[in-house]
């Protein structure tokens, strides 16, 4: 960038959108006396005015970058899965409170979301209006969680086709949530992906208070959960390795690679087929 091609060179100091675009898109090979050049070019009355405009332009550029990032498909998926989990957790907590309350007036009271739905559908008896109202809220939250899960299951294969195929749509979305997005996940090594969601256990290990965790949230995957305890470390490593590859392909090209699923299936089948006395479980747990 020369002094005649600076971010402010042909800009109107009042056109923040154009100035913000220049800040985001332009670059310089080396520092220059930009405030002085801006004054000489007539862009700013003095250096103080230059810095005031620069602050406004960089703030606008940052805001635009954040808005673009938050509108990205992977961020929408992250928000959806977090909202889904919040709705489900809150519904379950309130369902427990509902059961305690209902137990004082309803001899047929039960625990769980099904009872909340049943109670919400009833015509309230005198004095039980608040109870039925709470049941309605619980049922609505549970239904909202179901709707959000359907959205996640529909969108995840479009956002991250390989990750969704390998992990399943919901687990894929949770991995994106824990990593902070697809780009961030794609840049993580498989060892980090393996223990995402096990941060507390990892920190306890680093402090010398616990053994190293073998897996985090990927434990919910059938490949890990369905493997005997002695071999879960191997299964978790195999799964995390493929997830790392899948995330990188999804971020950098977006091409669906069905061979990743086949390779993972073969590897997990080999691990799960080990005889009970093979390997002695020595390197995994």
Domain count, the chain: 3
140 and 178 share one domain: no
Q: Is 246 left (phi over 0), alpha (psi -120 to 50) or beta?
A: alpha
Q: Ramachandran region of residue 43, left (φ > 0), alpha (ψ -120 to 50) or beta?
A: alpha
Closest residue by Cα to residue 9 from 34, 32, 33: 34
Shared-domain flag, residues 218 and 241 = yes
For 184-209, the pLDDT digits (tens) are 999 999 999 999 987 666 666 566 66
Question: Residue 274: is its pLDDT beyond 50?
Answer: yes
Residues 24 and 86 placed together within one structural domain of the fold = no
Domain termination site, one of 89, 124, 159 = 159
Residue 120 has pLDDT above 50, yes or no: yes
Residue 110, domain CATH: 1.10.287
Q: Which of 34, 50, 71 is the last residue before a domain boundary?
A: 71
User: Of 8, 40, 71, at which residue does a domain stop?
Assistant: 71
Residue ranges making up the domain that contains 25: 16-71
- Give the CA radius of gyration of the chain: 27
Q: What is the pLDDT of residues 73-115, one digit of tens each?
A: 899 999 999 999 999 999 999 999 999 999 998 888 899 999 9
Which residues fall within 8 angstroms of residue 101, CB to CB, at 6 or more apart? 131, 134
């Amino acid at each position: 960038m020369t002094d005649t091609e600076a971010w402010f060179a042909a800009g109107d100091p009042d056109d923040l959108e154009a100035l913000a675009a220049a800040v985001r898109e332009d670059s310089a090979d080396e520092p220059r006396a930009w405030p002085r050049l801006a004054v000489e070019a007539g862009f700013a009355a003095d250096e103080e005015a230059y810095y005031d405009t620069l602050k406004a332009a960089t703030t606008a550029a940052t805001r635009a970058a954040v808005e673009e990032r938050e509108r990205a498909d992977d961020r929408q998926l992250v928000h959806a899965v977090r909202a889904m989990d919040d709705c489900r957790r809150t519904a379950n907590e309130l369902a427990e409170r509902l059961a305690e309350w209902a137990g004082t007036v309803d001899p047929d009271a039960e625990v769980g979301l099904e009872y909340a739905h049943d109670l919400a559908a009833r015509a309230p008896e005198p004095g039980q209006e608040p109870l039925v109202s709470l049941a309605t809220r619980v049922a609505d939250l549970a239904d909202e969680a179901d709707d959000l899960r359907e959205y996640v299951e529909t969108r995840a294969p479009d956002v991250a086709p390989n990750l969704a195929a390998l992990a399943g749509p919901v687990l894929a979305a949770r991995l994106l949530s824990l990593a902070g997005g697809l780009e961030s996940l794609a840049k993580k090594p498989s060892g980090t992906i393996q223990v995402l969601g096990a941060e507390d256990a990892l920190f306890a290990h680093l402090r010398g208070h616990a053994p190293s965790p073998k897996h985090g949230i990927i434990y919910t995957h059938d490949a890990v959960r369905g493997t005997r305890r002695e071999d879960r470390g191997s299964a978790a490593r195999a799964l995390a390795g493929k997830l790392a590859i899948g995330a990188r392909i999804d971020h950098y090209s977006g091409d669906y690679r069905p061979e990743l699923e086949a390779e993972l299936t073969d590897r997990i089948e080999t691990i799960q087929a080990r005889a009970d006395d093979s390997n002695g479980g020595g390197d995994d747990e």
